[in-house]
């Protein structure tokens, strides 16, 4: 199988290293193209890239600019009954995501951790489905939810085998998981909300601007992907992730603050409000968790802060920046199917991407 990689950042680099760690003599893959935002290389299969040590140098020495029209033409012309082709998009680019229908129509399989195409405009998502059905090329996106955790593949199998998904609920954000695991433990007291967010940023759990996590949009995107994967008529038809009922944790007075530093400087002004929420939850024997819910019975998709008993898995099972997802279905009832583990990080995300590539064999 011929593989072209677009995006060589943290996840992209890790993916390439994992791909090239498969011994060349036994690998079913030939890495024929690499593209960054400013450079690209393309090789014939006989001269495919094989060296973990040299691929960065090969790309950095190229003077060619990315040309996706040309890449599409080269890859599609290489397809034959015995040769499959896949593009792996490791970017978070809307522009690259918009190319998926064209690639799929050309018979090129698309694999990605990029959430944009599957959680953005409904029209693009429908074009992706249509193009895949028309050509038989597949799109696989395991790492768009839960990094390397088998969330999408499990959901697809539940749906394909006729199980009825009643509700999915979970802690889908590694950032939010860390923040509330530290902030709300069941005790009425603890560290201030602003201090926990500051530490999370220092540890690299948040975006440079913490508001980009606290707005809940990342969770809303993941819920949109899950909702569309279920495809139930009882769920709202989400035009995009913006259609999800999302309760942002950004205090209204801090909306629109341009820098992360200024945001963190002002956040302590609202510690008392978060402290009161923690105290109220503690009185009920509960903890606070930022969760996402896709509820087919109630017909709602929502993300926000909820209270859970201190004996609930969302309170007892999480550590660090773990994700935990519960599938309540006709078959998995009354006890849900639970998937839990690291939901962020380059290594596990790249593993999920490589796992998708292996599914094409």
Name the residues annotated as catalytic.
Answer: 222
Q: Write out the H or E segment, with its range, that includes residue 165.
A: strand 165-171
Report DSSP letters for 309-355, one per residue.
ETTSHHHHS--TTEEEEEEEESSS-SSPEEEEEE---HHHHHHHHHH
Q: How many residues does the chain have?
A: 361
Distance CA 19, CA 83 (A): 18
The CA-based angle 229-7-32, given to 5 degrees, is 100
Residues 131-158 as b or e (16 or more Cβ within 10 Å = b): bbeebebbbbbbbbbbbbbbbbbbbeeb
* Cβ atoms of residues 209 and 263 within 8 Å: yes
Distance CA 351, CA 148 (A): 6
The CA-based angle 103-106-111, given to 5 degrees, is 35
**Edge-to-edge order in the sheet of strand 165-171:** 245-246, 300-309, 286-295, 165-171, 322-329, 337-342
Say whether 93 sits in a helix, a strand or coil.
Answer: coil
Say whether 286 sits in a helix, a strand or coil.
Answer: strand
Residues 6+ apart with CB under 8 A from 306: 288, 289, 290, 291
Rg of the chain (C-alpha set): 22
* Cβ atoms of residues 69 and 103 within 8 Å: no
Name residue, tokens 């990080």: 345
Distance CA 141, CA 118 (A): 9
Residues 6+ apart with CB under 8 A from 63: 39
């Amino acid at each position: 199988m011929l593989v072209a990689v677009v995006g060589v950042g943290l996840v992209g680099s890790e993916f390439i290293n994992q791909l090239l760690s498969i011994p060349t003599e036994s690998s079913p893959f030939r890495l024929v193209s690499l593209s960054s935002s400013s450079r690209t290389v393309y090789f014939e299969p006989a001269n495919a890239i094989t060296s973990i040590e040299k691929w960065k140098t090969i790309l950095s020495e190229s003077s060619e600019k990315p040309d996706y029209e040309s890449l599409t033409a080269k890859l599609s012309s290489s397809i034959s009954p015995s040769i499959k082709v896949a593009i792996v998009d490791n970017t978070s680019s809307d522009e690259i995501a918009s190319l998926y229908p064209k690639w799929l129509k050309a018979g090129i399989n698309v694999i990605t951790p990029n959430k944009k195409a599957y959680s953005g405009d409904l029209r693009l998502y429908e074009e992706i489905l249509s193009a895949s059905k028309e050509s038989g090329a597949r799109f696989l996106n395991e790492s768009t939810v839960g990094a390397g955790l088998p969330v999408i593949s499990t959901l697809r199998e539940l749906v394909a085998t006729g199980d009825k998904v009643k509700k999915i609920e979970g802690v889908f954000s590694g950032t939010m998981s860390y923040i509330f695991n530290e902030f709300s433990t069941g005790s009425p007291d603890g560290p201030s909300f602003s201090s926990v967010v500051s530490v999370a940023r220092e540890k690299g759990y948040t975006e440079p601007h913490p508001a980009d996590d606290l707005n809940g949009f990342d969770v809303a995107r993941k819920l949109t992907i899950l909702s569309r994967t279920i495809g139930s008529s009882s769920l709202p038809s989400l035009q995009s992730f913006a259609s999800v009922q999302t309760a942002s944790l950004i205090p209204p007075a801090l909306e629109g603050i341009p820098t992360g530093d200024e945001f963190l400087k002002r956040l302590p002004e609202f510690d008392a409000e978060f402290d009161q929420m923690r105290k109220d939850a503690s009185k009920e024997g509960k903890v606070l968790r930022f969760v996402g819910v896709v509820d087919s019975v109630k017909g709602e998709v929502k993300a926000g802060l909820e209270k859970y008993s201190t004996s609930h898995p969302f309170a007892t099972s999480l550590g660090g920046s773990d994700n935990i997802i519960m599938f309540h279905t006709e078959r998995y009832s009354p006890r849900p199917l639970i998937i839990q583990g690291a939901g962020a990080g380059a290594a596990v995300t790249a593993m999920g991407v490589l796992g998708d590539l292996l599914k094409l064999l």
